[in-house]
A = this chain, B = another copy of it.
């Protein structure tokens, strides 16, 4: 059986290889951070990631997490989205491209189809010469649950 059995292993290898090809080094914090990114479907904040790394390796500094995320982003491995209060969330670039909707009430990040802003992007390019980096900023508002909660409490 030469087929890899866990796709995560392959993914890790590929990412670490990219790091190496770039003249980078494979270190424990980096491996752990990549694992966490691969293991999570969610959009994690730098602090979320730091917390998880530190659960297993308490000595890893938060600044290392930031520096690693920056490196991975430069390599095109991950992307980050800004949600409303200056916090960034990170996720693998390889995931299906998608837009982000951030709930101002509960903080949830909901994924929307990548094409959501295509028309808007075309329009601002045509009319204003503006190149939208659509994946880079979340659209903000309230998610289904929080809208429902709101309606319930104000209606009652």
Complex alpha-carbon distance, A132 and B139, angstroms: 7
Chain B residues with CB under 8 Å of A104's CB are: 133, 136
Query: Is A137 in contact with B86, judged by CB distance below 8 angstroms?
Result: no
- A143 partner, pick from B86, B130, B139, beta carbons under 8 A: B130
Query: Is A128 in contact with B101, judged by CB distance below 8 angstroms?
Result: yes
A129 CB-CB contact with B under 8 Å: yes
1/0 contact string of A83-115 vs chain B (CB within 8 Å)? 011110000000000000111100000101000
Give this chain's copy count.
2
Chain B residues with CB under 8 Å of A152's CB are: none
Within 8 A of B (CB), among A106-156: 110, 112, 116-117, 119-120, 123-124, 127-134, 136-144, 147-148
| Interface range on chain A (Cβ under 8 Å from partner) | 35 or more
Interface centre among A132, A133, A139, A142 (most CB of B within 10 A): A139
Complex alpha-carbon distance, A137 and B102, angstroms: 10
Query: Is A116 in contact with B124, judged by CB distance below 8 angstroms?
Result: yes
Complex alpha-carbon distance, A124 and B85, angstroms: 22
Nearest chain B CB to A141 CB, angstrom units: 4
Which residue on B lies nearest to A85, using beta carbons? B86
Query: Is A85 in contact with B84, judged by CB distance below 8 angstroms?
Result: no
